[in-house]
Amino acid sequence: MSELQAIFFANEAFYLAFTGRDLRAMADVWAEKMDVCVVHPGWEPIYGREAVLESWHRILEASPSPEIVGQSPQVLVNDSVGTVVCFEEIKGNFLIATNLFVRQSGRWRMFHHHAAPTNARPPEEGTQPNSIN
């Protein structure tokens, strides 16, 4: 499996944990051996693994938590950092997200997630240079 594919699958694991409301899987996605940060839409930045996971606990345990679908990932590989820029669809509306990954213990783990509103829409499938179709 190429590094591009491995980062793509790490990103998919994040969205599967999100849509499945799986706190254990979400914790497994996040890096353990470095500082981490998350910026949820409309929230202040949250730093530190414990605080980041607590924020996900609050979101995933909320009722009702909206279904989030990651779309049109663009994957970039730069040495030990992988970047995914993608759209998040929520009930027909879109956010744009940046997910940063680092290789730890032989696999890619997230160390930063930032999602924000956008007026843009995902491009047609197959029109992106670093997407996995």
Quick: pLDDT tens for 51-95. Answer: 999 999 999 988 776 788 889 999 999 989 999 999 999 888 999
pLDDT of residue 133: 46
**Which residues 6+ apart lie within 8 Å of 90 measured at CB?**
66, 67, 68, 69
Residue 28 within a domain? yes
Domain range for 80 is 3-117
pLDDT of residue 115: 96
Residue 83 within a domain? yes
Which residue's structure tokens are 């606990």? 57
Residue 123 within a domain? no
Residue 125 within a domain? no
Per the structure, the count of domains in the chain is 1
Residue 124 within a domain? no
Residue 127 within a domain? no
Dist. CA 46–CA 107, nearest whole Å = 24
The residue that leads in pLDDT, 125 or 117, is: 117
Q: Is the pLDDT of residue 4 over 60?
A: yes
Residue 91 within a domain? yes
Residue 126 within a domain? no
Q: Specify the CATH number for the domain of residue 21.
A: 3.10.450.50
pLDDT of residue 125: 64
* Edge-to-edge strands, sheet with 69-78: 46-47, 37-39, 107-117, 93-104, 81-90, 69-78
